Amino acid sequence: MNEQKTEEQNSGVELEFDLVDPPHKVWRALSIPEFRERWLPKQALADPDAIAVTPGQEVRYRLRDDSPPFLESTVTFTITPNATGGTCLRIVHDLTDGRLDRMARAAANSNSPLLMLAA
């Protein structure tokens, strides 16, 4: 397994790996719950079922942090055959929790005066 690329995005991380195993074997590890449980425990999943599946190519799951504030995210696994008979595995992990927008707007050190709103 070789890590080829890591990109930070605004709300997530993108990784690519070249694996020696063929795509059908990697697909089984991603899509069959008994195999997936070995490396992605069900406690990390917000929902044990996939959000979206393109058989043999892509699967997407909702994840939830195990510590407060229990933010939710999505992780997408995409597999494609590579030139050596193995698999190119692309993982895109995006923070999708709507609470992130509210947290980003309310900076604790905004240096602006505190204003009270009248009812």
pLDDT of residue 64: 85
Closest CA to 90 of 64, 66, 54: 54
C-alpha gyration radius of the chain: 19
Cβ(62)–Cβ(55) below 8 Å: no
pLDDT of residue 7: 45
pTM equals 0.71
Chain segment 86-95, per-residue pLDDT in tens:
999 999 998 8
CATH fold group of domain 2-99 = Alpha-D-Glucose-1,6-Bisphosphate; Chain A, domain 4 (3.30.530)
pLDDT of residue 82: 93
Per-domain boundaries in the chain = 2-99
Q: Name the token pair of 39.
A: 């490396």
Chain segment 30-88, per-residue pLDDT in tens:
999 999 999 888 888 888 889 999 999 999 999 888 777 778 889 999 999 999 999 99
Task: Cite the beta strand spans of the chain per DSSP E.
Answer: 2-8, 12-19, 52-54, 58-64, 72-81, 87-95
